[in-house]
């Protein structure tokens, strides 16, 4: 059969076979269409080694014999137009191998799937939704993510808030509740854990069967479009956690799709991901490249997603990642680098930025691979941001130490600035850090119950003012005490308790300060925007640093006291003569601390200190973060500044 007879383009199929089809979802899969004078559905699937392929579904009592697909030339694609079918029809592909074995598979390009445990694909028309986010799209054309605030709220839709056991809020209900909450807390973006179709709730969406199918757990594709649309109308960007590194082995999915390993590749040692019980894609196969790159484009094109957090990059580029000796393989040069995956990632990013120049492509990469966020023409992988896993691990280890032990581990809070500008970083406090016995962020902190809150406020202050964009997993904003429970709602009842309610107030205010103070984000990728004032004070476990904006007089100074000692007359060098005003104090009574608010300006003194010609003295409570704003002009009046203790 030739392509034209079923309405396929020979050029599209040629590009697909050569890894150059970046919109393959427009012709593969099930598409309601008109062929000649008939209206129906065209089904097309790639199954190069199949002996025969049939379409079985609710319209033919799941008996595909009368709906045999035809092979389209030598493309490996099979296609069939069935008249009089409409959206809503359930279907699968029935494939027959050379030895006569038959089995059913879901459509790799299905736009909608049955709710688990059912596995049929559903004919869907994605072209009917009327978008209302043109103002957002226009603004994004002039966006510069490197010099704008980025404060990401990471969400698992199945447990942010639920009605009951496995009774989830829909995408549409989330559009009513989650978006307003995010706006009220001051976030700029929502990042969704994978919403692609997956069979097992416990995988959180990271083991996928339907890459083009928004999971039916939370409703229809149109409802997800509505969610994204409303986010954009209210000024919130939407990021999607995307998983190109591996897929699950469920029988109805991609594994041995046509009876042979066409998505995972023939080398089973390379395909196996024993740590997760999944299979890696064959990144060197051209049709797999078309499938995956098209999928990234699909979410931006059809669902208006603003960017992707690309999961497990380290596992893609390292052939030995978490593999036992018997599964080790090597590239043609004898190394362990997955050269196919590296080329794929570069091509992925080049393609995304060709079509969407202001997209966010964020690598979740735990390796030391260089130039992850450098352009591909400079030898980089081409992402524009990367998670800073080193900073996260060092800081969480440090915050778990007792204050008296921190004197020996001061480097854990300062080392990150040795490489902070080597990549464009996001500082993640993600779901991965609050599961599997790792404890919640609050419960990682050392000390008594009250001290844990003080530690967490201090930690958040340093996190928010350290160079890099920010990401916080849901529940961290009020100090959820238990680990994340993926099958239950967040512990919203904790907000009724004063300590958690005040933590929530603190995070909301800290988020607001972050967005108001441009030095905290407009030079995130520029080492000229950061200076140490006191970096070596391990004896007191204190650090002092500044962030400077594009306007050289726009300066904020941060003091972090990681000790449990109250320093009544702490002297700190200041970068300029003038007055400094405390605009954030983590020890404020309003946030659960012991200090009374004091916003009086603190004048500098002509006392050289810490390499600076000017300095100030102030009272620095234990386990406290202070943020000071510089006010240009001569110091008004020499005085000793104290933070009154209200305890």
- Quick one: CA dihedral 407, 413, 417, 423, positive or negative? positive
Instruction: Give the integer Cα–Cα distance in Å for 195 and 211.
Output: 9
Q: Which residues of 147-161 are buried (b: 16+ CB within 10 A; e: fewer)?
A: eebbbbbbbbbbbbb
Tokens describing residue 7? 């309405």
Whether 635 shows a pLDDT value over 60: the answer reads no
Tokens describing residue 405? 């032990």
pLDDT of residue 642: 46
Q: For the chain, what is the mean pLDDT?
A: 95
What confidence tier does 444 reach under pLDDT thresholds 50, 70, 90? very high
Name the nearest CA neighbour of 293 among 76, 31, 15: 15
pLDDT in tens, 276-307: 999 999 999 999 999 999 999 999 999 999 99
What confidence tier does 164 reach under pLDDT thresholds 50, 70, 90? confident
pLDDT of residue 638: 44
Please say if 364 is a catalytic residue. yes
- Quick one: CA dihedral 20, 21, 23, 25, positive or negative? negative
pLDDT in tens, 197-245: 999 999 999 999 999 999 999 999 999 999 999 999 999 999 999 999 9
Q: What is the DSSP letter of 417?
A: G
78-to-93, 210, 423 alpha-carbon distances in Å = 10, 19, 44
Instruction: Give the integer Cα–Cα distance in Å for 45 and 29.
Output: 6
Instruction: Give the integer Cα–Cα distance in Å for 534 and 78.
Output: 67
pLDDT in tens, 521-553: 999 999 999 999 999 999 999 999 999 999 989
> Is residue 593 within 8 Å of 621, Cβ to Cβ?
yes
pLDDT of residue 639: 44
> Is residue 32 within 8 Å of 26, Cβ to Cβ?
no
What is the mean pLDDT of the segment spanning 390-417?
97
Instruction: Give the integer Cα–Cα distance in Å for 201 and 116.
Output: 9
Tokens describing residue 146? 């490197």
Name the nearest CA neighbour of 253 among 105, 385, 89, 102: 105
- Quick one: CA dihedral 379, 384, 388, 389, positive or negative? negative
pLDDT of residue 4: 61
Instruction: Give the integer Cα–Cα distance in Å for 204 and 208.
Output: 10
102-to-248, 264, 382 alpha-carbon distances in Å = 21, 20, 42
Q: Which fold has domain 3-122?
A: Immunoglobulin-like (2.60.40)
Q: Does domain 527-632 have CATH number 3.30.565.10?
A: no
Please say if 598 is a catalytic residue. no
- Architecture category of domain 147-387 in CATH: Alpha-Beta Barrel (3.20)
Whether 7 shows a pLDDT value over 90: the answer reads no
What confidence tier does 492 reach under pLDDT thresholds 50, 70, 90? very high
Backbone angles phi, psi at 593, to 5 degrees: -95, -150
Q: Tell me whether domains 147-387 and 527-632 share a fold.
A: no
The residues near 588 (Cβ < 8 Å, ≥ 6 apart) are 595, 596, 597
Tokens describing residue 214? 């928004």
> Is residue 550 within 8 Å of 523, Cβ to Cβ?
yes
Catalytic residue among 191, 229, 258, 311: 311
What string of H, E and C letters represents the secondary structure of 567-587?
EEEEEEEECCCEEEEEEEECC
Whether 497 shows a pLDDT value over 70: the answer reads yes
Residue ranges with strand state E in 388-541? 425-429, 469-473, 530-534
The full set of domain ranges for the chain reads 3-122, 147-387, 527-632
Catalytic residue among 12, 133, 258, 364: 364
The pTM score is 0.95
CB atoms within 10 A of CB 443: 17
Name the nearest CA neighbour of 309 among 225, 201, 260, 237: 237
């Amino acid at each position: 059969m030739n392509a034209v007879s079923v309405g396929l383009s020979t050029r599209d199929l040629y590009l697909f076979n050569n890894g150059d089809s970046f919109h393959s979802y427009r012709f593969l899969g099930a598409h309601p269409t008109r062929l000649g004078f008939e209206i129906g559905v065209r089904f097309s699937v790639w199954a190069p080694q199949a002996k025969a392929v049939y379409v079985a579904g609710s319209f033919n009592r799941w008996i595909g014999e009368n709906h045999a697909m035809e092979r389209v030339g030598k493309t490996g694609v099979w296609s069939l137009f069935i008249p009089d079918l409409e959206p809503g029809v359930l279907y699968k592909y029935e494939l027959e191998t050379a030895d006569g074995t038959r089995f059913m598979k879901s459509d790799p390009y299905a736009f909608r799937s049955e709710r688990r445990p059912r596995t049929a694909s559903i004919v869907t028309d994605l072209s009917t939704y009327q978008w209302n986010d043109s103002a957002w799209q226009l603004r994004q054309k002039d966006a510069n993510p490197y010099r704008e605030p980025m404060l990401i709220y990471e969400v698992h839709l199945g447990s942010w808030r639920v009605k009951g056991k496995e009774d989830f809020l829909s995408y549409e209900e989330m559009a009513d509740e989650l978006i307003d909450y995010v706006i009220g807390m001051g976030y700029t973006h929502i990042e969704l854990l994978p919403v692609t179709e997956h069979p097992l709730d416990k995988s959180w969406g990271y083991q996928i069967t339907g890459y083009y199918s928004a999971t039916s757990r939370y409703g229809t594709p149109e409802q997800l479009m509505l969610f994204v649309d409303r986010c954009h109308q209210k000024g919130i960007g939407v990021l999607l956690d995307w998983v190109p590194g591996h897929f699950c082995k469920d029988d109805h999915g991609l594994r041995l799709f046509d009876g042979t390993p066409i998505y995972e590749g023939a080398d089973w040692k390379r395909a196996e991901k024993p740590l997760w019980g999944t299979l890696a894609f064959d990144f060197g196969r051209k049709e797999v490249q078309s499938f995956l790159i098209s999928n990234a484009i699909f979410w931006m094109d059809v669902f208006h997603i603003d960017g992707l957090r690309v999961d497990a990059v380290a596992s893609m580029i390292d052939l030995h990642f978490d593999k036992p000796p018997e599964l080790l393989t090597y590239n043609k040069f004898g190394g362990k680098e997955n050269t196919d995956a590296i080329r794929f990632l570069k091509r992925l990013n080049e393609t995304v930025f060709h079509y969407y120049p202001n997209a966010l492509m964020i690598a979740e990469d735990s390796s030391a691979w260089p130039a992850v966020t450098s352009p591909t023409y400079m030898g980089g992988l081409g992402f524009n941001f990367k998670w800073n896993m080193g900073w996260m691990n060092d800081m969480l280890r440090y915050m778990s130490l007792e204050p008296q032990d921190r004197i020996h581990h001061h480097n854990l809070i300062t080392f990150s600035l040795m490489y902070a500008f080597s990549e464009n970083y996001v500082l993640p406090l993600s779901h991965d850090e609050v599961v599997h016995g790792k404890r919640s962020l609050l419960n990682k902190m050392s000390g008594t119950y009250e001290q844990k809150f003080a530690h967490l406020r201090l930690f958040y202050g340093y996190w928010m003012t350290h160079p890099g964009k920010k990401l916080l997993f849901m529940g961290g904003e009020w100090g959820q005490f238990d680990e994340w429970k993926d099958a239950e709602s967040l512990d919203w009842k904790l907000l009724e308790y004063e300590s958690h309610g005040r933590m929530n107030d603190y995070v909301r205010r800290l988020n607001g300060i972050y967005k108001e103070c441009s030095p905290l984000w407009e030079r995130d990728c520029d080492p000229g925007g950061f200076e140490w004032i006191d970096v070596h004070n391990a004896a007191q476990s204190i650090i002092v640093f500044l962030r400077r904006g594009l306007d050289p007089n726009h300066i904020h100074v941060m003091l972090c006291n990681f000790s449990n000692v109250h320093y009544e007359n702490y002297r700190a060098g200041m970068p300029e003569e003038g007055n400094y005003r405390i605009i954030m104090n983590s020890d404020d009574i309003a946030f659960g601390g012991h200090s009374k608010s004091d916003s009086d300006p603190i004048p500098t003194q002509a006392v050289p200190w810490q390499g600076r010609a000017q300095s100030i003295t102030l009272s620095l409570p234990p386990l406290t973060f202070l943020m000071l704003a510089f006010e240009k002009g001569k110091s008004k009046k020499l005085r000793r500044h104290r933070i009154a203790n209200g305890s």
